[in-house]
């Protein structure tokens, strides 16, 4: 296998782990890193015996970098992806891909024009349980999906952890920063056609009014199906689940219990979200330790076990596509811009709806 050499932009919790994975994966090496809080890039380079670039611009012009991982703060994704593409580097970009649909489309076009791959970091697609549900729904086991509901809520006692993650101008707010559930719902019901978002600030001491900590989203889809979502940090009873109801059955993704329950006309089946007992147990223990609180990651900590294997699968798939292997039809939307665009379009329309206090159409 041809050795692929990677540069990593953003050496925080996720970026650091992706750099480690690429330094261990067959056929790949991390050759340079840049960015991150304090000395995170320096510490990571010492750990991996790679170089520290002085700037993003210096990293993307290196002849020994074939592809770039963009794991920088959300508001920097656009400039980093476009810069990498302009220098002929394949790009893996963490979620949310961008903070506006216009930026997202500009990034997709820049990669297309440069003839480089751009992969969206929507990690849920690499969970064994999610893949199994995709197959069950495609086979008609729950009939036609007709309504969905998702919740990702908890309580934040104080502004702690990574500072930039509390600034909506840098994160895009809850709908952007925690975009996985929006992506998952649209995976099964299709792109939303119109949205209505209501929001409020339960505790002004925690968030400015411009960054509401309580969001209720309603979505209408072009085929008549409906979806609702609840996000925020103003909830003493924290929840994390996604429900998909169909004409002949239903699916519950229970993230706190790390299990998926599928109800069909043939009965009820239950299996793990990750599909590996140690990984599913690790997820359950993690939620138990949080006790309903919202916890932000630190650059000095590694992602939990239940995330590391899906991250490894992401990097393996990205590597294989770069070297010319065909994209599995299940993952085409992660490479052709569909997943990135549909989730960003819905999130942007929702935030505009909150400002205008009215239903808004989602750009098709």
pLDDT in tens, 8-38: 999 999 999 999 999 999 999 999 999 977 7
**Do residues 207 and 158 make contact, with C-beta atoms less than 8 angstroms apart?**
no
Provide the domain count of the chain: 2
Please check whether residue 306 lies inside any domain of the structure.
no
Q: Do 262 and 231 fall within a single domain?
A: yes
Determine phi and psi for 188, rounding to 5 degrees.
-95, -30
**Do residues 214 and 202 make contact, with C-beta atoms less than 8 angstroms apart?**
yes
Q: Do 71 and 190 fall within a single domain?
A: no
Q: Do 109 and 257 fall within a single domain?
A: no
Residue 284, domain CATH: 3.30.360.10
First to last CA, the chain: 40
Q: Do 90 and 143 fall within a single domain?
A: no
Please check whether residue 211 lies inside any domain of the structure.
yes
pLDDT at 103 over 90: yes
Final residue in a domain of this structure, among 99, 121, 143: 121
Please check whether residue 346 lies inside any domain of the structure.
yes
Q: What are the beta bridge partners of residue 91?
A: 68, 118
Please check whether residue 349 lies inside any domain of the structure.
yes
pLDDT confidence band for 228 (50 / 70 / 90) = very high
pLDDT at 4 over 60: yes
The percentage of the chain sitting over the pLDDT mark of 90, rounded to a whole number, equals 84
DSSP assignment string, 18-78: HHHHHHHSTTEEEEEEE--STTHHHHHHHHHT-EE-SSHHHHHT-TT--EEEE-S-GGGHH
Query: How many whole angstroms from its chain centre is CA 26?
Result: 25
Neighbours of 159 (CB within 10 A): 12
What pLDDT, on the 0 to 100 scale, is given for residue 26? 97
Name, in order, each residue with C-beta under 8 angstroms of 76's C-beta and a sequence gap of 6 or more.
none
Strand, helix or coil at 244? Answer: strand
Q: Do 129 and 108 fall within a single domain?
A: no
pLDDT at 190 over 60: yes
pLDDT in tens, 46-89: 999 999 999 999 999 999 999 999 999 999 999 999 999 999 99
pLDDT at 161 over 70: no
Residue 65, domain CATH: 3.40.50.720
Can you tell me the distance from the alpha carbon of 7 to that of 10, in angstroms, rounded to the nearest whole number?
Answer: 10
Domain, as residue range, for 79: 4-121
Can you tell me the distance from the alpha carbon of 37 to that of 231, in angstroms, rounded to the nearest whole number?
Answer: 27
Burial 162-193 (b: 16+ CB within 10 A, else e): eebbbbbebbbbbbbbbbbbbbbbbbbbebbb
Q: Please work out, in degrees rounded to the nearest 5, the angle formed at the alpha carbon of residue 47 by the alpha carbons of 45 and 53.
A: 0
What pLDDT, on the 0 to 100 scale, is given for residue 233? 86
pTM: 0.95
pLDDT confidence band for 351 (50 / 70 / 90) = very high
pLDDT in tens, 135-149: 999 999 999 999 999
pLDDT at 98 over 60: yes
């Amino acid at each position: 296998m041809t050795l692929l050499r990677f540069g990593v932009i953003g050496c925080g919790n996720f970026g650091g782990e992706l750099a480690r994975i690429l330094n261990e994966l067959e056929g790949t090496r991390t050759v340079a890193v840049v960015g991150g809080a304090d000395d995170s890039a320096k510490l990571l380079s010492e750990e991996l015996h790679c170089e520290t670039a002085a700037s993003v611009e210096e990293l993307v012009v290196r002849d020994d970098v074939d592809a770039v991982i963009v794991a920088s703060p959300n508001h920097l994704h656009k400039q980093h992806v476009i810069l990498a593409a302009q220098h002929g580097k394949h790009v893996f970009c963490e979620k949310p891909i961008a903070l506006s649909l216009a930026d997202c489309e500009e990034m997709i076009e820049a990669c297309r024009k440069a003839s480089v791959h751009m992969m969206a970091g929507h990690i849920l697609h690499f969970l064994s349980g999610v893949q199994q549900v995709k197959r069950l729904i495609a086979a008609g086991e729950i009939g036609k999906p007709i309504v969905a509901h998702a919740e990702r809520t908890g309580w934040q006692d104080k502004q702690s952890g990574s500072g930039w993650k509390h600034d909506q101008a840098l994160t895009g707010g809850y709908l952007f920063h925690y975009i996985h559930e929006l992506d998952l719902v649209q995976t099964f019901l299709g792109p939303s056609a119109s949205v209505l978002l209501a929001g409020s600030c339960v505790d002004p001491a925690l968030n400015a009014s411009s960054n509401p900590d309580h969001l209720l989203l309603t979505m209408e889809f072009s085929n008549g199906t409906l979806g609702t979502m609840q996000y925020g940090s103003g909830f003493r009873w924290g929840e994390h689940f996604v429900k998909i109801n169909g004409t002949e059955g239903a699916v519950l993704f229970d993230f706190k219990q790390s299990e998926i329950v599928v109800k069909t006309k043939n009965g009820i089946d239950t299996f793990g979200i990750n599909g590996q007992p140690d990984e599913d147990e690790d997820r359950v223990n993690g939620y138990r330790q949080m006790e309903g609180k919202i916890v932000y990651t630190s650059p000095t900590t590694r992602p939990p076990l239940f995330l590391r294997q899906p991250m490894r699968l992401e990097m393996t798939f990205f590597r294989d596509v770069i070297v010319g292997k065909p994209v599995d039809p299940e993952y085409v939307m992660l490479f052709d811009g569909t997943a990135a665009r549909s989730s960003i379009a819905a999130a942007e329309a929702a935030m505009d709806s909150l400002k205008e206090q009215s239903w808004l159409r989602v750009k098709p």
